[in-house]
Amino acid sequence: MQKKTDQAEKVIKTLYSDGKVVEVMADISTSGQGSEEQDAGWFDLFSARYFKVVSVGATLFLFQQLAGINVVVYYSTSVFRTAGVASDVAASALVGATNVFGTMIASSLMDKQGRKSLLITSFSGMAISMNSNNGA
């Protein structure tokens, strides 16, 4: 599409064999035809074409903000100070380290388990923990 056919042929020869160059180049040229789309403006985000995508993205962003992690991070120094930890820096470092450690675990589990199963498992765990606290 950028008219760099010589470079494309060289890469195809590296990836495949010399005999595949013509076939792959033909596939690339036919797949690139008619793929030019017009640029979308800001007002196009509110059109019927993009409504579903924009609404799902905005809803996910809203749920992320309402999940509460921002409150935990913001008020963590106050909570630790009330619990007896004298150093605000140590409290913030502990929260940050926990956040990084949890993110690393979640990232590795997402690759193995998938997002859907992790979401269902975490929701079930939260629901059970909320139920067990009501009886106490």
Please tell me the distance from the alpha carbon of residue 30 to that of residue 15, in angstroms, as a whole number.
Answer: 20
Check residue 45 and report its DSSP letter.
G
| pLDDT at 100 (0 to 100) | 92
The fraction of the chain above a pLDDT of 90, given in percent, is 3
pLDDT one-digit tens code per residue, 28-46: 777 766 555 667 778 888 8
Please tell me the distance from the alpha carbon of residue 1 to that of residue 32, in angstroms, as a whole number.
Answer: 6
Confidence of residue 123 (pLDDT cuts 50, 70, 90): confident
Please tell me the distance from the alpha carbon of residue 83 to that of residue 77, in angstroms, as a whole number.
Answer: 10
pLDDT one-digit tens code per residue, 42-83: 888 888 888 888 898 888 888 877 777 778 788 888 888 898
Please tell me the distance from the alpha carbon of residue 23 to that of residue 29, in angstroms, as a whole number.
Answer: 10
12 has a pLDDT exceeding 70: yes
Joined tokens for residue 30:
């036919």
128 has a pLDDT exceeding 70: yes
Helices and strands of the chain, counted as H and E runs: 6, 0
97 has a pLDDT exceeding 90: yes
| pLDDT at 135 (0 to 100) | 52
The fraction of the chain above a pLDDT of 70, given in percent, is 89
| pLDDT at 35 (0 to 100) | 53
Give the torsion through C-alpha atoms of 55, 61, 63, 64, to 10 deg: 160
